[in-house]
Amino acid sequence: MSAPFLSRLRPLLGSLLLLAANAQAAPQPLDRIIAVVNDGVILQSELDRALNMSTAQLRERGITPPREDVLRTQVMERLVTNRLQTQKAAEAGIRIDDRELNEVLNNIAAQNGLTLAAFADAVRKDGLDFLAVREQVRDEVLIARVRQKEVESRVVVTDQDIDLFLANRSAVDDTEYRLSHILVALPEGASAEQREAARAKANGLLARLAKGEDFAQLAAAESDGQQALQGGDLDWRKGSDLPSLFAGVVGKLKQGEVSEVLESAGGYHLIKLAGKRGGGEAQSVTETRAQHILLQANAIRDEDATLAQAQDLAKRLKAGENFDALAKQYSDDPGSKNAGGDLGFQPVGVFVPEFQIRLDQLQPGETSAPFHTQFGWHIARVTERRTRDTTEETRRLKARQAIIARKSAEEYDLWVRRLRDEAYIELRRADGKPAGADAQS
């Protein structure tokens, strides 16, 4: 499981733990269908659980939750959006089996100092259905996977994109900003009337903020953004990772200040600068060029015989025999054998820890005694070390990552809106009938 992938789950993981810590058991009413989403349904019990979770998360952030009817609307929208994405995952053949789900749950528990059994007990102790929590995690993993398949895997960044990005900035902005965000979204192909109504709403929200209303509470109640139920908090992001629309404004804001209404194809935005830290520095890396001879036990030569041969080769090297020649003759590493064991210049972190530690102990020209790693017995020799300036390389890498992040976020928002526009969605009243103007297809 990659770190970026897990990072997408963190808002959910925090919510689950908050809910486990704060929720109280309550009598459950008879379940009923409250929405139809394509060929699936959303139940009252799902909405109740999500409402409890969102309320706990907002309070943990020090945000007063909006009125129940307002929060219900926000949470319902999130449930519909999530259901559309899990349906798309099923269509794409994406599955999360129980083994993989257990691995994710074990990671969640471990990050919070618990075993999986202890985590499950904590959830049940507070009257929650662990199986429901488990399935919610499965849905979040599915959503992350389908996003990667349908959106992120299709994002292409060329060298020309990077050149243009860097040409528009004297340097990639490494300053980190913490922003809060309110979005008044527009449907795809919005009419002039829809745009005018959305702009008026955004201006109205800006006026309410100017009168002293809390940004986080207003975001939770009114924003159409993905982080609405986190009070609009976008967390810390480097300037180079911000959408172009925000990047052009954030540097002019003072801490705590709110921008004017910003317009994009997707809607109207308000951003607040909550914090600022850091800055850019020159980058360098120390690289080591090494050679090695690898000997592996096999059907003919057991572990003891392999060690004995490594020790014999070490004696021959000490006596002055040529490292390149012995590597070409005896090494079992197909990647370096024909190059005399040469591994090229490599930075720290490329090799397994046991091998790296041995290299770090050697000065250029020194040869190690035989040592063991998971791959077999090695004899290593350091031929050269250098410190290389990687400032430009790092700038281009960061530029590429920033462009990918921006394009992915923009494409994801468009993709989700298209899913919703193309879906059959019917919200239902307490009596089970369609909710009038809210029902749509």
- Of 3-7, 157-161, 315-319, 322-326, the least confident: 3-7
* Highest mean predicted confidence (pLDDT) among 242-246, 359-363, 393-397: 359-363
Question: For residue 390, what pLDDT is reported?
Answer: 80
pLDDT beyond 50 at 12: no
- pLDDT, average across residues 125-132: 78
pLDDT at 145 over 70: yes
The proportion of the chain whose per-residue pLDDT surpasses 70, expressed as a percent, equals 88
Q: What is the structure's pLDDT at 282? A: 58
Give the pLDDT confidence score for residue 437 in this predicted structure.
Answer: 42
Whether 198 shows a pLDDT value over 90: the answer reads: yes
| 295 pLDDT more than 80 | yes
Closest CA to 136 of 283, 16, 251: 16
pLDDT value at residue 188: 80
Above 90 in pLDDT, residue 206? yes
Mean pLDDT score, 389-410: 84
Residue 407 has pLDDT above 70, yes or no: yes
Mean pLDDT of 18-47: 70
d(CA 172, CA 107): 34
22-44: average pLDDT: 73
Whether the pLDDT of residue 354 is over 50: the answer is: yes
pLDDT at 240: 74
Residue 434: the pLDDT is 76
376 Ramachandran zone, left/alpha/beta (phi>0; psi -120 to 50): left
pLDDT of residue 279: 60
Mean pLDDT, the chain, integer = 86
Q: What 3-state class would DSSP assign to 267?
A: strand
Domains annotated for the chain, with CATH where assigned, are 3-150 (1.10.4030.10), 159-281+393-422 (3.10.50.40), 285-387 (3.10.50.40)
Minimum mean pLDDT range among 94-108, 162-176, 190-204, 233-247: 162-176
Tokens of 436: 């009038």
**Average of per-residue pLDDT across 384-405:** 85
Average pLDDT for 219-233: 92
Asked if residue 382 lies in contact with residue 364, where contact means CB atoms within 8 angstroms, the answer is yes
